[in-house]
Amino acid sequence: MVCRDISELIHGYLDGELDLSRSLEIEHHMEGCPTCSRAYAEQKSLRSAIARSPLYREAPSELRRRVRTELRRAARSESPSRLRWGWRVLWAPLGVTALALLAVLAIMTRPSAESPLTDEIVSAHIRSLMPGHLIDIPSSDRHTVKPWFNGRLDFSPPVQDLADRGFPLIGGRLDYVSGRPVAAVVYQRRQHVINLFIWPAGGAASPSEETLSRQGYHVVSWSQVGMTYCAVSDVSPADLDEFVRLLRAPG
Amino acid sequence: MAQQDSWEFGTKDKRTRFEEVMLPHMDAAFNLARWLTRNDSDAQDVAQEAYLRAFKFFTGFRGDNSRSWLLQIVRNTFYTWLEKNRREEAVITFDETIEDLQSGAAAPDARMVEEADSEALRQAIEALPVEFREVLVMRELEGMAYKEIAYVADLPLGTVMSRLARARLQLRKCLIDRLGKKD
């Protein structure tokens, strides 16, 4: 190999982009060629000068804000409102019919419901997924969602933000379960919705910790520090378990 | 109530997925746009436009390298912007061979380059022709593999190495010229 061939390959060598045999050839050549080994040393020092300097330009927060705003606008314009209303009109009766069918099926197939609370939770979850029922207070900020329940409930439900763990908070809602108003804190896992129902333990039926499935939905319930929790979703059982584990983790 | 509306029909799904996959690359997108445009406010415009384009085509994104996919769009957006704004960009001249560059870059003092301050480096990188600048920034600042650079800049793998070689030699020469003048 002659210097002419080496001059470019030195850069592949510097970047660790050459295969072993090529690298060995370069090393062998440089051992006997002061010109090429000097060129290599020069490039190494140029690279370390670059690495030492604060040249990387991080995105300004203004850009982050602008992009988020524009994306929201773009997402809205991708679903024109006429179409949205069309779908809504179409889906609402379908949802009602489906729910009625489910209820009939549930009664027919399980005359002696082994856990009426679980059924009630799943029904509340399905109801919440019907258009316009999911969220009373849309917010990803727990400091907005938690105070919202003040004055609406006679207890203060704990609200956590798990966005950095893949379960972003999207809002809260009042619901009615087991004969009392309860807090529903709504999270999201990819395109799935997770409802977390919370009410004071003892006041209503408090289930022992258990995992149940109904109609393709999974329900995990437990009690902790005086509160009863029921998490329900159509995410995979593994995802729901992960969600519960994060919620139950201290801190 | 837009947030609730969009829940029902999947537009939120697309945006949420897009944000999860693409927003972490905002620094990379801006950094590349900044070095290409050499100007903060133009870089923001290019990066923002690129994000919107990426969102539009996101449904077609199947790859596993989301950063390269996004950076390719940033680069294309930049070249469109460049055409529209008709900025005079230095065109690569291939008159200078690598040997010329190498011999011309014999530093009177080899430590000069090593001790170059970041302002001198910044100016020298910005003075590079854009075709050299982009591969250098992707390699040295973004730490990308040749394969990724080839994909983003739409170049054969071998061309990535030779452009990088020329970029570095020219950068070094320019740096030495500037530092020499200062003394």
Domains recognised in chain B with CATH numbers: 7-85 (1.10.1740.10), 101-182 (1.10.10.10)
Q: What's the confidence (pLDDT) of residue A76?
A: 87
The residue with greater pLDDT, B13 or A199, is A199
Q: What's the confidence (pLDDT) of residue B9?
A: 44
Q: What's the confidence (pLDDT) of residue A3?
A: 86
* Same structural domain, A48 and A133: no
Q: Report whether pLDDT(B182) > 80.
A: no
Contacts of B149 by beta carbon, 8 Å cutoff, 6+ apart: B135, B138, B139, B155, B160
Chain A residue with the nearest C-alpha to that of B16: A190
A31-62 confidence digits (pLDDT tens): 999 999 999 999 999 999 999 899 999 999 99
- β-partners of residue A223 are A228
| H helix or E strand, kind and range, residue A197 | strand A192-200
Number of compact structural domains in chain A: 3
Alpha carbon distance A34, A13 (integer Å): 17
Alpha carbon distance A33, A41 (integer Å): 12
Which residue among A56, A78, A190 sits closest to B11, beta carbon to beta carbon? A78
- Contact (CB, 8 A) for A7 and B98: yes
Give the residue carrying structure tokens 């390298």: B65
Q: Which of A123-132, B51-60, B70-79 has the highest mean pLDDT?
A: B70-79
CATH number at residue A224: 3.30.200.100
pTM: 0.57
DSSP string, A96-128: HHHHHHHHHHHHHH-SS-S-HHHHHHHHHHHHH
Give the residue carrying structure tokens 């149940």: A212
* Dihedral class, residue A79 (left if φ above 0, else alpha if ψ from -120 to 50, else beta): beta
* Same structural domain, A127 and A179: yes
Q: B26 to chain A nearest CA, in Å?
A: 6
* Same structural domain, A193 and A159: yes
* Same structural domain, A121 and A240: yes
Which residue among B7, B17, B52 sits closest to A134, beta carbon to beta carbon? B7
* Same structural domain, A241 and A137: yes
Q: What's the confidence (pLDDT) of residue A232?
A: 94
Find residues 212-251 of chain A whose CB sits inside 8 Å of chain B.
Answer: none
- pLDDT averaged over every residue in chain B: 83
* Same structural domain, A65 and A34: no
* Same structural domain, A234 and A129: yes
Tell whether B109 lies on the interface with A, counting CB pairs under 8 A: no
Quote the domain boundaries for residue A92: 61-109
Q: Which of A206-215, B10-19, B26-35, B116-125 has the highest mean pLDDT?
A: B26-35
| H helix or E strand, kind and range, residue A210 | strand A210-214
Q: B163 to chain A nearest CA, in Å?
A: 9
A155-173 confidence digits (pLDDT tens): 899 999 898 888 999 999 9
Alpha carbon distance A240, B170 (integer Å): 56
Give the residue carrying structure tokens 């002419």: A4
* Same structural domain, A93 and A176: no
Tell whether A131 lies on the interface with B, counting CB pairs under 8 A: yes
- The count of other CB atoms within 10 Å of the CB of residue B159 is 16
* Same structural domain, A179 and A145: yes
- β-partners of residue A182 are A175
* Same structural domain, A41 and A140: no
- The count of other CB atoms within 10 Å of the CB of residue B86 is 7
| H helix or E strand, kind and range, residue A171 | strand A169-177
Q: A75 to chain B nearest CA, in Å?
A: 6
Calculate what percentage of chain B has a pLDDT beyond 70: 76
A98-145 confidence digits (pLDDT tens): 777 777 666 555 433 456 788 888 889 988 888 877 888 888 888 889
Sheet holding A192-200, edge to edge: A137-138, A169-177, A180-189, A192-200, A227-233, A217-224, A210-214
* Same structural domain, A121 and A244: yes
Q: What's the confidence (pLDDT) of residue A209?
A: 64
The residue with greater pLDDT, A215 or B130, is B130
Quick one: pLDDT band at residue A87, thresholds 50, 70, 90?
A: low
Q: What's the confidence (pLDDT) of residue A185?
A: 95
* Same structural domain, A92 and A126: no
B8:A42 CB<8 A = no
A205-241 confidence digits (pLDDT tens): 445 667 888 888 889 988 888 888 999 999 988 899 8
A188:B16 CB<8 A = yes
